Amino acid sequence: MKSFPLAALLLLIASAGFSADPKIDTLTARSVNRQVNVHFTMGHAFDREQTVRGLQSGVPTNLVYIVEAYRDRPNWFDEGIARSRIEVIATFNSLTREYLLNYRRDHKLVRSETFNDLASLEKAMTNIDEPALFDIGKRPPYKVMVRVKADLMRGWLLYFIPWEISTRWMAVRVTAQPESGR
């Protein structure tokens, strides 16, 4: 009987591995008139049953994206250009059966929307399109990189050991889009 706690722990760890880990799937960064437009998507954010169950019980569920623009300098420290924090917070209202989504950039509310179904909410929370997120000044776009990571939530192992669920950083080089003449 002493092997039961060990077997239960191994089963718990193994069952946690069945769902795919959240990750940044796509990331593009384009410079238009010295402003960097950033677009990315995150996959597997709602694959964990705990996330969906918590959201549908009325607990606010948030995804926090950290987006950084920097100049990559091999064999030296990177030059940080700008950093932005994007928070997407969803809450379920059990009376109206609607999801309220608040979209914040650098702690300022950008917009609020309501959704009737979970699929639309998931798409709005995991597809991020930020026009003119960063100003790169006089730097050539091909020397600037953009990287993104997401912090999903705090998880609990054995209901009392906290740990953060985060994605790995994904980085791309900024591409220059031809300036449009007006």
- What's the CA gap between 85 and 66, in Å, rounded? 5
**Burial of 1 by CB count in 10 Å (0-12 exposed, 13-18 middle, 19+ buried)?**
exposed
The helix (H) or strand (E) run that includes residue 45 is: none
Q: Which pLDDT value is given to residue 147?
A: 96
How many other CB atoms are found less than 10 A from the CB of residue 89? 17
> What 3-state class would DSSP assign to 27?
strand
Q: Which pLDDT value is given to residue 72?
A: 83
Q: Which pLDDT value is given to residue 50?
A: 78
For the chain, list residues with pLDDT below 50: 1, 9-17, 182
The helix (H) or strand (E) run that includes residue 42 is: strand 35-43
Q: Which pLDDT value is given to residue 21?
A: 85
Q: Which of 45, 33, 4, 50 is nearest to 157 (CA)?
A: 50
Domains of the chain as residue ranges with CATH: 20-176 (2.60.40.10)
Whole-model pTM: value is: 0.81
Q: Which pLDDT value is given to residue 124?
A: 95
- What's the CA gap between 144 and 73, in Å, rounded? 10
Q: Which pLDDT value is given to residue 59?
A: 84
CA-based torsion, 23, 100, 134, 26: positive or negative: positive
The answer to whether residues 124 and 88 touch, using CB atoms and an 8 Å cutoff, is yes
Q: Which pLDDT value is given to residue 73?
A: 82
Q: Which pLDDT value is given to residue 155?
A: 65
